[in-house]
């Protein structure tokens, strides 16, 4: 009977470890960080098809998203689909694009957006004028001429933003942290 009791205690310890591991992974993925696989060319050259990223889900619990940050969000027309894009416009702003130059209007201030992260031929050639409502964000892909983004389907609601891309894990030669550009 003593050997059977030791066996049961061993099984119980294994079950405890497995349970704790599963709960820990669940809590981390639900509230702190989530993996994301980039699919497509809309964020090139900064993010490529097949890049494996970690998305920080906790930052936006303490502050609102900022211009220039690369975010993962639920696609407004199909919430089961996730997209990755860069925030260009913030709630209440007017976003105007003419000849590849984006200008932001907020109250009495005009900002001409310097997008140093874009390569010349990747800048948008289309013109648009978009006014954002409260709690809405205007997002664009870095590869403007090959991106399906707010120009096509409108602004993203704050509630649909999952988190900010923080770390590229794969491919290993591109491993690194991301910082939002300073405008």
Residues annotated catalytic, as ranges: 42, 85
Residue 123: CA count within 13 A, CB half-sphere: 16
Structure letter (DSSP) for residue 40: S
Supply the DSSP string of 86-145, one letter for each residue. Answer: EEEE-TT-EEEEETTEEEEEETTEEEE---TTS-GGGS----EEEE--TTEEEEE-SSGG
β-pairing, 52-56 with 109-112?
A: unpaired
Rounded distance, CA 137 to CA 126, Å?
Answer: 19
**Residue carrying the six token digits 């310097």:** 114
Tokens at residue 83, please? 């997209």
Q: Which helix (H) or strand (E) holds 157?
A: strand 156-157
Instruction: From residue 149, give the alpha-carbon distance in Å to each of 18, 36, 63, 105, 139.
Output: 41, 18, 24, 20, 6
């Amino acid at each position: 009977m003593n050997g059977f009791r030791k066996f049961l205690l061993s099984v119980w310890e294994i079950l405890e470890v497995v349970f704790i591991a599963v709960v820990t992974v669940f809590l981390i993925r639900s509230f702190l960080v989530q993996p994301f696989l980039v699919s497509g060319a809309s964020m090139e050259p900064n993010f490529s098809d097949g890049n494996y990223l970690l998305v920080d889900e906790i930052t936006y619990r303490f502050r609102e998203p900022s211009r220039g940050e690369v975010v993962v969000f639920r696609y407004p027309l199909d919430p089961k689909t996730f997209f990755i894009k860069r925030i260009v416009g913030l709630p209440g702003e007017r976003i105007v694009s003419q000849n590849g130059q984006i200008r932001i209007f907020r109250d009495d201030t005009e900002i001409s957006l310097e997008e140093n992260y874009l390569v010349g031929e990747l800048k948008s050639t289309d013109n648009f004028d978009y006014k954002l409502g409260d709690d809405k964000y205007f997002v664009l892909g870095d590869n403007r001429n090959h991106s399906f983004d707010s120009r096509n389907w409108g602004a993203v609601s704050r509630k649909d933003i999952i988190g900010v891309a923080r770390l590229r894990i794969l491919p290993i030669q591109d491993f690194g942290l991301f910082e939002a550009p300073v405008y």
